[in-house]
Amino acid sequence: MTGPTFKQVGTVNVQFGNNVTVVQPTNIYGCTIKDDVFVGPFVEIQKDVIVGARTKVQSHTFICELVTIGEDCFIGHGVMFINDLFSNGGPAHGDKILWMPTIVGNRVSIGSNATILPVTICDDTVIGAGAIVTRDIKQPGVYAGNPARKIRNLE
């Protein structure tokens, strides 16, 4: 029997803009973090992710590959982004051709514990805490529930 293998990631190969704040511990690797972004503790941001300027990512959030987040966004605590829809009946097991992208527009707020499947979310949208976004959001407004549905316009 062999012992465990430990891999430490931390912050590796990240393109940081100016005035970025990262509260450790985090796993951030192979991504782009633009100017004036805040990243809270216990966040993972995977490779090829782009986080737009002035966006705030709160603690315990997971941002997987193929996610692009716009400018001036708020990503609440414990938000989970998903890129694998189990299209073959189970996990893709590293077959990245089965993964799908997520695009979050500008000035989007995503409440704590929301789950975002591979979708596009338009600018000026609020996603309620605990919502599960399963379809593209094409009109600004406030969305909540499972699946997330528009509950009102922004005023």
Write down the CATH number for the domain with range 11-152. Answer: 2.160.10.10
Any idea of the CA torsion for 54, 22, 104, 71, to the nearest 10 degrees?
10
Q: What is the pLDDT of residues 18-50, one digit of tens each?
A: 999 999 999 999 999 999 999 999 999 999 999
Backbone angles phi, psi at 102, to 5 degrees: -125, 135
How would you classify residue 87: left for phi > 0, otherwise alpha for psi between -120 and 50, otherwise beta?
alpha
The tally of CA atoms less than 13 A away on the side-chain side of residue 26 is 24
Both structure tokens of 18: 């100016």
Q: Is the pTM of this model over 0.85?
A: yes
pLDDT for 155 beyond 90 = no
pLDDT for 89 beyond 80 = no
Weakest mean pLDDT among 53-67, 79-93, 107-121:
79-93
pLDDT band of 70, cuts 50, 70, 90: very high
Q: Hey, where are the domains in the chain?
A: 11-152
Three-state DSSP at 106 gives: coil
Any idea of the CA torsion for 38, 43, 49, 53, to the nearest 10 degrees?
-10
Both structure tokens of 130: 């605990």
Sign of CA dihedral 18, 29, 61, 128: positive
- pLDDT for 119 equals 97
Say which DSSP state 23 is in: P
pLDDT for 1 beyond 80 = no
